Structure 1
Amino acid sequence: MLTDQSAHVYADLPLTLAEAGTGRPVLVLHGGGGRATVAGLADRLSATARTLTPVHPGWDGTPRPDWLTGIDDLALAYLHLLHDRGLDDVLVVGSSLGGWIGAEMAVRDTAGLISGLVLIDAVGVHVPSEPITDFFALDARGVAEHSWHDPDRFHVDAADVPADELTRRQGNMATMRLLAADPYMHDPKLLRRLARVRQPALLVWGASDRVVTPAYGAAYAAAFHRGRLEVVPGAGHLPQLEQPDATFALIETHLRRTSAHAVSDAP
């Protein structure tokens, strides 16, 4: 279970942060759905690693300073968090929007704090042949159809969502729209920069994802100097929820292989 503490990267940027476990540090970054979408994964990782799982400012009712208006702001803030805590040999694990933040962190990591990446159905790059689905244009049923391998299991009609949960979701979407909607869900400069990232990058993709397809994931992986794509059957945009065991096994293996003491220049 995640237990929150408060941290400050800058005087006007309080972070809600959960930390658990011991061992190699792992920064776990959630996507647009909020930290609940990665809480189970962070809990499992904390059995063998030191996990840090923040709530992005503006999500789940947390404060967001007016100047924080882009994914690059989050990437730099989390790099500064790692630096302030004296952490290195960090594995960054990011889901969807969190994967985009992780990729932006890696291209800015001039101090070499990060030694591995896991991007789970990440957005963040522009692949002309595989456009990112306009998530904001979908109704609840459309979101389910695009996001899940088994949409009937996960679809919930908005009328059946409690008022406080609906408010949380609407707030999360408003923050995501502010930070990531222009240009839509990507940094037009990021794809070409990924070849400069020397850390091994594992891209984990749900085979049934229709928000960002496995072909989009393949192009993303190919852009890294040492990128590798693993497709998870029976899963959509959040394989850590639909196929948690298969997803965790891939991440755990990458965690072991990418320690700074084990990294070589092999793919």
Structure 2
Amino acid sequence: MMTPSLPQNTTIVESGDPDARTALVLHGGGGPQTVAPIAGHLAATMHVLTPTHPGWNGTSRPDDIASVAQLATAYLESLLERGERDVVVVGSSIGGWIALEMAIQSAADDRYADLIGAVIDIDGVGAVVEGEPGADFFALDARQLAEAAWHNAELGYRDPTTFTDEQRAIQQSNGETMAAIAGRGISDATLLKRLDAITVPTLVVFGASDRIVTPAYGQAVARAMPGAEFAVIADAGHLPHLEAPGATWAVIDPFVIRIR
């Protein structure tokens, strides 16, 4: 079986100091614009790579990337080809799941042994936690999604009737890609049990008002990893870096300093 790889035309935005430590910032279902504040903040002290996942925003997705695990492998291969090492992988939502899967695979494969130096999982999905089911994402309409994902739903609500045909097509395509890669349940029943393979420094950050996956869910994910840290951001939902950026940086920055 061939190793999955990113398409040659994959968009990867680089920012910050090219001589500094690298941070790979992975977006969730909403696309790369949802993690732009993270990339911008980290670029002040790091070399930041912000890719658009294959299949998002009108890009192509090869047949050999049909799962989160395969996408994680493709990103590891990309880092290997670039000669990177000791990368801090930062993931939001499904990006957090990809980051965890990358750390698991790097721990199991000597070729990737030095690639991942730390993980920051921001309201990541993917695990199945007993008693803490995730929201049925694909069953939510725009209003319900805003109410589940945001502390202040009015900030997150976008009226679908105001979308252009192009915006509507991209949103539909993004949803289809997410379903193809993450499954309709956006989860992997094996993930929680495999997290104990992750030994690099890990920070799990959750918005206190997240109802896509709850802070209790996030705490269970953090407990599954030896030594992982867990923090809750007040007055924020599934994207705390958008709703409460100052409080989010106040948690992330000390962690980044400690792992240097």
Matched, 1:202 2:197: no
In the TM superposition, residue 95 of structure 1 has moved relative to its aligned partner by 0.1
Indicate the residue corresponding to 2:75 in structure 1. 78
2:55 pairs with 58, 63, 66, which one? 58
In the TM superposition, residue 153 of structure 1 has moved relative to its aligned partner by 2.3
Instruction: Structure 1: give runs of 5+ residues left out of the alignment.
Output: 1-8, 260-267
Dislocated runs of 4+, deviation >6 Å: none
| 1:100-179 paired onto structure 2 within 5 Å | 100-109=97-106, 110=109, 111-179=113-181
Structure 2 residue matching 1:14: 3-state secondary structure: coil
Count of matched residue positions in the alignment of Structure 1 and Structure 2: 250
Indicate the residue corresponding to 1:262 in structure 2. none
In the TM superposition, residue 24 of structure 1 has moved relative to its aligned partner by 0.7
Give the alignment's TM-score, normalised by structure 1: 0.90
Query: C-alpha distance in 2, partners of 1:210/1:238?
Result: 11
Say which structure is richer in strand: 1
Q: Is the 8 A contact 1:70 1:180 kept in 2?
A: yes
Structure 2 residue matching 1:60: 3-state secondary structure: coil
CA deviation digits over 1:61-113, x for unaligned, max 9?
11111221100111001111111111111100000000000000000113131
Query: C-alpha distance in 1, partners of 2:235/2:7?
Result: 43
Structure 1 vs Structure 2 CA RMSD? 1.4
Q: Is the 8 A contact 1:13 1:65 kept in 2?
A: no
Instruction: Structure 2: give runs of 5+ residues left out of the alignment.
Output: none
CA deviation digits over 1:139-196, x for unaligned, max 9?
11100110000002221211022222222211111100111125x2122111111112
| 1:92-103 paired onto structure 2 within 5 Å | 92-103=89-100
| 1:234-253 paired onto structure 2 within 5 Å | 234-253=235-254
Indicate the residue corresponding to 2:220 in structure 1. 219
2:43 pairs with 46, 51, 68, which one? 46
In the TM superposition, residue 10 of structure 1 has moved relative to its aligned partner by 4.1
Give the alignment's TM-score, normalised by structure 2: 0.92
Q: Is the 8 A contact 1:29 1:93 kept in 2?
A: yes
Q: Is the 8 A contact 2:6 2:54 kept in 1?
A: no
Residue 211 of structure 2 aligns with an amino acid whose one-letter code is: R
Indicate the residue corresponding to 1:189 in structure 2. 190
Q: Is the 8 A contact 2:7 2:54 kept in 1?
A: no
Structure 2 residue matching 1:194: 3-state secondary structure: helix
Residue 239 of structure 2 aligns with an amino acid whose one-letter code is: L
Q: Is the 8 A contact 1:232 1:246 kept in 2?
A: yes
Identical pairs, percent = 47
Q: Is the 8 A contact 1:13 1:64 kept in 2?
A: no
- Say if 1:165 and 1:224 are closer, same or farther in 2 by CA, change over 3 A: same
